[in-house]
Amino acid sequence: MSKSNTFDFQAHRGGRGLMPENTIPAMLAVMENPKVTTLEMDLAITMDKQVVVSHDPVLNPIITTKPDGTFIKGTEMNQNIIYQMEYAQLKKFDVGLKPHPGFPQQKKVAASIPTLSELIDSVEAKGATMGRKMFYNIEIKSVDGKDVIEHPVPEEFVDLVVNLINQKNVLARTSIQSFDIRPLKVLHQKYPKVQTAYLVEGKTTSNVKNNLDLIGFTPTIYSPEFKYVTKETVDYCHAHHMKIIPWTVNTKTEIEALIALGVDGLITDYPNLIGN
């Protein structure tokens, strides 16, 4: 299945401007917008090797409510590292009820951190009733220096993720992204059929050649911080047979400007800005 001729509108963390980030309710809600092609999300690993959907390696105090109904304090973050918790413990925490100061439009619903398996099952089931198949852009959240503390080593992390998306038969509709070049290199060497997206940030994003030299291959997608994208960046990516999909674009004006530059898609917290 291909979306090569379709502009790729991606709902960042399921559209966290409107719904609690990285939750099943968010993913299912944004599927109602027919212009959204891809569900973007982040991954962590639990102590019992469950692939879960979370942007942070710890329970984030901005969004997390404890099982007893109280909020996690910032000082407690290091006590709640996901990689040091079993999923049975993790799923008792809520990440959908606490008001998010950065996203006042966000609807509040009870939601736990889901496994990627459960999320894909839910999306595929709804997609079957709607007659549409969603694409997935999933980020491996790893940092050099945090291996075996906040996440497994890159090869194990990649193996867990690829095995799961293979089991769910969504490999052809999935890209795996990362800021960390180590899992991208593992993917290229071990799973060359997997679509890869190279996330980059800051002013260096405009020097595409230097960034590609760092990973040593040409990924499927170059995914830069949107504010540094120029026409030259877009042209370079296309000349080297890469798609360019910037992140995270949150105003109508910025969306329209990037489309005018010729990008292949974009990632936004506000999928309502791209119409219904």
Q: Which residues of 77-91 are buried (b: 16+ CB within 10 A; e: fewer)?
A: beebbbbebebeebb
Average pLDDT score over residue span 104-122:
98
Average pLDDT score over residue span 159-178:
98
pLDDT digits (tens, 9 = 90+) for 241-265: 999 999 999 999 999 999 999 999 9
**Position 276 confidence tier, pLDDT thresholds 50, 70, 90:** very low
Average pLDDT score over residue span 91-104:
97
Answer whether 30's CB lies under 8 Å from 271's CB: yes
Mean pLDDT of the chain: 96
**Position 74 confidence tier, pLDDT thresholds 50, 70, 90:** confident
What class does CATH assign to 8-57+115-274?
alpha beta
Q: What pLDDT sits at residue 274?
A: 84
Domain boundaries, the chain: 8-57+115-274
User: Is 50 exceeded by the pLDDT of residue 271?
Assistant: yes
Average pLDDT score over residue span 80-89:
97
Average pLDDT score over residue span 88-92:
98
pLDDT digits (tens, 9 = 90+) for 16-31: 999 999 999 999 999 9
Upper half-sphere CA count for residue 201 (Cβ side, 13 Å): 5
Q: Is the dihedral of CA 67, 70, 76, 78 positive or negative?
A: positive
Average pLDDT score over residue span 206-225:
97
User: Is 70 exceeded by the pLDDT of residue 2?
Assistant: no
